[in-house]
Structure 1
Amino acid sequence: MKKLFIIILTVLIFVPKQNNAQDNGAVVAGAVGALAAIGAGVAAVEQMKERAELTATEWLLANNPDITSFSLKTIDFEGKKLKDMSSASVITFKIQEFTPGDKPELNGRKQVLLGFTSHGWINEYGIDFNKIKWFLIDEPEWTKMMVSYVKVASGETSDFNVKSTLQNGRIVNKGVRLKNKMTIPFYQLSGDMYVVTDYNNEMKFVYNEKSLGIFLKDTKDLVQIKRSSLIELHEFFFEE
């Protein structure tokens, strides 16, 4: 909505103050039409975000009966366009449990839910949430995934060194930083170069300079987690 406000403000500032009321009216009408289209797009994405959160909540309730009180927040929906979401992608959610009470604090177990979408999950009939493959990941599994990712993205080979650095440092755009020092720098690759590692029976990790790519063996889809989302998820687990 902030972006929409900026667009509206820009239109109001730069619409020419012409003497010809008819011309001015046409310009304003065109601007209003454009803003209406933008507003419809924003509303559609917001509606999709709400439906995705509902579907994720339903999946969690159906598949994890031991989780009885939790918070679920979407991470990777901001800034997406409808055309970008129609292909294979991943929706990320932060989940944290808490003890019920008056104004409770989020102080329980943290997990991440990844929803991998397949091609055609958005079509002319709407959203097909059956085309989502779900992975619920706790801190040990996330650490294991990030160790594998950092190793394929850098020249580091020691699991122990990578794990220690990850748990005490933070992932940034160019590597893993520990106490303001770039301890494990990532390879500098061009946009069309990839390094691959076989993570488990379900997925491979693919590194290039812009993101973490995950290749799902079952659907044969290659999806990407934005570096900003990756950093936010890691900080979610290891923030002080």
Structure 2
Amino acid sequence: MKKITLLFLLIITFLVPKNAQAQDNGAAIAAGAGALLAIGAGIAAVEQMKERAELTATEWILSNNPELVNFSLKTLDFNGKKLKDMSATSVITFKIQEFVPQDKPELDGKKQILLGFTSYGWINEYGIDFDKVRWFLIDSKEWINMMTSYTKVASGEKDDSFVKDQLTNGKIVNKGIKVKSKTTIPFYELSGDLYVTTDYNEDMKFIYNEKSLGIYLKETKNLIQIGRGSIIEIHDFFFDE
């Protein structure tokens, strides 16, 4: 909160000219105050969306995964996002980790990722419409299977065992998979209008395009893009933390 207050003060400093006339200063201050109110409203709206999304995700877990009894749930997508950016978001990602209840418990249990795939109009003037979100809970094994399929379509590598080994011991980066700073599986260089596809399961097709993972949901017929940065963040959650 202190950081946000300091940011507002800095914005006022830059919005108000040092050599302006008194009346101009007054107008500038009013304009600055209006801008700050707009920024504050945007921050508050995103924070409210985050809380609502986390509540809905938790309710989905409780309803559909009774085996999850003690767990932490945090979003990966809302930090630093503007309201207009969130309306264009195609997938909300939540980190889930189990723990043993005790004083000051450590998050040292099983890790999973909950993916909430959105569709057009999921954010409107009334807030979030969660009827337009499809949920998938994924553990590290399923993530490796997904990334193996993705890596194969993105690189042409055919050996499943080799790909899984590189994924488990390395990192996904923009240009491929790296193990100890060496690129062991390079990805194709494709222009923005080229796509390579593979059928993953009864729910999804994967589409490789430059710097993104495209997931085509067969039921809703939506093509959803997950940026390479999000892929890296999820992979690091499973295998680095």
TM range (shorter): over 0.9
What is the alpha-carbon distance in structure 1 between the residues aligned to residue 112 and residue 96 of structure 2? 5
What is the alpha-carbon distance in structure 2 between the residues aligned to residue 177 and residue 39 of structure 1? 41
Percent same amino acid at aligned positions? 69
Please say if 1:145 is aligned against 2:146: yes
| Aligned partner letter, 1:67 | L
* Equivalence for 1:96: 97
What is the alpha-carbon distance in structure 2 between the residues aligned to residue 160 and residue 127 of structure 1? 41
Computed over aligned residues only, the root mean square deviation of the Cα atoms, in angstroms, reads 1.9
Q: Provide the aligned length of Structure 1 versus Structure 2.
A: 240
What TM-score do the two structures reach when normalised by structure 1?
A: 0.93
Please say if 1:223 is aligned against 2:224: yes
1:149–1:3 CA distance, 2 compared to 1 (3 A):
farther
SS in 2 for 1:105: coil
What is the alpha-carbon distance in structure 2 between the residues aligned to residue 199 and residue 134 of structure 1? 17
1:35 Cα deviation after fit? 1.6
What TM-score do the two structures reach when normalised by structure 2?
A: 0.93
- Per-residue displacement from partner, 1:68-93 (whole Å, max 9, x unpaired)? 10011100222333334335610001
| Aligned partner letter, 1:73 | K
What is the alpha-carbon distance in structure 2 between the residues aligned to residue 24 and residue 89 of structure 1? 43
Unaligned residue ranges in structure 2 (runs of 5+): none
- Per-residue displacement from partner, 1:173-232 (whole Å, max 9, x unpaired)? 211101110111111122222211111111111111121111111111111222221111
* Equivalence for 1:185: 186
1:47 Cα deviation after fit? 0.6
What is the alpha-carbon distance in structure 2 between the residues aligned to residue 19 and residue 86 of structure 1? 38
What is the alpha-carbon distance in structure 2 between the residues aligned to residue 176 and residue 6 of structure 1? 38
* Equivalence for 1:128: 129
* Equivalence for 2:40: 39
What is the alpha-carbon distance in structure 1 between the residues aligned to residue 151 and residue 213 of structure 2? 10
Unaligned residue ranges in structure 1 (runs of 5+): none
1:87–1:180 CA distance, 2 compared to 1 (3 A):
closer
Whether contact under 8 Å (1:87, 1:120) holds in the other structure is no
What is the alpha-carbon distance in structure 2 between the residues aligned to residue 46 and residue 206 of structure 1? 32
